[in-house]
């Protein structure tokens, strides 16, 4: 093998490690939720400039937040089977390089939002970045088992950010979108924490299954799912959506409740994995139904 081929392979590997810092799959989910918010805020079509630079800017700042999260939690990640392969945990990316990379992403994302979208979206996205990478990661996560509940506010922001990008305001409809994701986050994440409880015990983080036990966590998943189903009725109640969305929300909610009830009453790790997987499908399908209903109207 020639030296140039070795160097090319090394550069590709290093680039892939930097990309992994941004948690691309979660960034894609955030971008999807932001896109839904944009489309729901528009009466007809979203201006291409807002659509492109809004999604890119929000994604870049989300990636910067995740990169800082990986940097700050590299010691914790190294102790957990789920996260020990992350680049910072393995020492694949130097500390200075990660800081520079995350900073460049954050500045570029903020600049795009300010220049091509609007200042409100930039400031809201920056606040989300600070809330996740500093308030949640540094303060809340190691301090309280309610970290997911409180810190879920940052993860719930993308649809609101998308709405603000188009409407240049935060309306009641945008807050409803935020609230749905906010209430969805605890049952989604606690399902994961239940079958990863030993990982979290080793990490030293005060996750709910560690501090309050599996039975209390399973009950909490069920109760939050009940609250989630009630919350998803709000778009219909405030006339943001019609009967198509209502029917989809009720069917999806009944399915999620069935998972949550079985998780509470007849727990298994396999069921917890399935519940976690379904929760991701649930959110995507719910927002997809809301979008279809918007255009049907």
Q: Does residue 261 lie in a domain region?
A: yes
Would you state the pLDDT for residue 10? 78
Q: In terms of pTM, does the model score above 0.85? A: yes
Residues 1 and 122 in one domain: yes
pLDDT exceeds 80 at position 77: no
Segment 212-248, tens digit of pLDDT = 899 999 999 999 999 999 999 999 999 999 999 999 9
pLDDT at 8 over 70: no
Q: Which two tokens stand for residue 208?
A: 């709910």
Contacts of 81-87 spanning 24+ positions with Cβ under 8 A: 81/199, 82/196, 82/199, 86/20, 86/21, 87/17, 87/18, 87/20, 87/21
Q: Are residues 25 and 147 in the same domain?
A: yes
The sign of the torsion formed by the CA atoms of 197, 29, 160, 115 equals: positive
**Helix/strand number for the chain, H first, E second:** 16, 0
Closest-CA residue to 133 (of 64, 86, 179) = 64
* Token duo for residue 251: 């069917």
The CATH number given to whatever domain includes residue 120 is: 1.10.357.140
Please return the burial class of 265, using the count of CB atoms within 10 Å of its CB with bins 0-12, 13-18 and 19+: exposed
Q: CA 227, 229, 230, 231 torsion: positive or negative?
A: positive
194 shares its domain with 142: no
Q: Of the candidates 26, 288, 47, 54, which has an alpha carbon nearest to the alpha carbon of residue 164?
A: 54
Percent of the chain with pLDDT over 90: 61
CATH classification at residue 279: 1.20.120
Q: How confident is the model at residue 6 (pLDDT cuts 50, 70, 90)?
A: very low
pLDDT tens, position by position, 92-105: 888 888 899 999 99
> Which range is least confidently modeled, 18-27, 200-209, 255-264?
200-209
3-state percent helix, strand, coil for the chain, nearest multiple of 5: 80, 0, 20
Do 148 and 177 fall within a single domain? no
> 148 and 8 in one domain?
yes
Is 141 in the same domain as 263?
A: no
| Claim to verify: residue 296 and residue 183 sit in the same structural domain | yes
CA–CA gap between residue 86 and residue 82 (Å, rounded): 9
Answer yes or no: do 175 and 211 share one domain.
yes
Residues 131, 16 share a domain: yes
Number of domains forming the structure of the chain = 2
pLDDT digits over 126-152, tens only?
999 888 877 777 777 776 777 777 777
Q: Are residues 206 and 276 in the same domain?
A: yes
Look over the chain and give the mean of its residue pLDDT values, rounded to a whole number.
89
Range of 215's domain?
171-297
124 contacts 161 by C-beta, under 8 angstroms: yes
83 with 230, same domain: the answer is no
CB-CB neighbours of 143 under 10 Å: 12
Q: 183 with 147, same domain? A: no
**b/e string for 99-135 if b means 16 or more Cβ within 10 A?**
eebbeebbebbbebbbebbbebbbebbbebbebbbbb
Is residue 224 within 8 Å of residue 187, measured between CB atoms?
A: yes
């Amino acid at each position: 093998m020639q030296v140039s081929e070795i160097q090319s392979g090394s550069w590709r590997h290093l680039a892939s490690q930097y990309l992994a810092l941004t948690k691309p799959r979660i960034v894609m989910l955030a971008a999807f939720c932001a896109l839904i918010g944009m489309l729901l805020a528009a009466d007809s079509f979203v201006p291409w400039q807002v659509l492109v630079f809004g999604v890119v800017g929000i994604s870049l700042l989300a990636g910067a937040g995740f990169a800082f999260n990986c940097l700050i939690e590299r010691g914790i990640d190294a102790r957990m089977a789920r996260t020990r392969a992350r680049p910072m945990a393995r020492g694949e990316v130097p500390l200075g390089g990660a800081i520079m990379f995350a900073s460049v992403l954050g500045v570029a994302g903020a600049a795009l939002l300010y220049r091509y979208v609007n200042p409100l979206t930039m400031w809201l996205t920056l606040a989300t970045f600070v809330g996740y990478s500093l308030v949640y990661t540094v303060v809340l996560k190691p301090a309280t088992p309610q970290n997911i509940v409180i810190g879920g506010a940052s993860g719930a922001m993308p649809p609101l950010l998308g709405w603000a990008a188009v409407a240049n305001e935060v309306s009641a409809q945008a807050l409803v979108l935020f609230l749905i994701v906010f209430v969805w986050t605890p049952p989604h994440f606690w399902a994961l924490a239940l079958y990863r409880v030993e990982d979290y015990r080793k990490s030293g983080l005060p996750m709910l299954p560690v501090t309050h036990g599996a039975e209390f966590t399973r009950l909490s998943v069920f109760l939050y799912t009940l609250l989630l189903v009630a919350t998803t009725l709000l778009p219909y109640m405030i006339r943001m959506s019609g009967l198509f969305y209502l029917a989809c929300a009720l069917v999806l909610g009944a399915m999620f409740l069935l998972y949550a009830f079985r998780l509470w009453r007849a727990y298994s790790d396999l069921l917890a994995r399935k519940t976690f997987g379904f929760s991701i499908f649930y959110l995507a399908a719910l927002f997809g139904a809301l979008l279809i209903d918007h255009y049907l109207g």
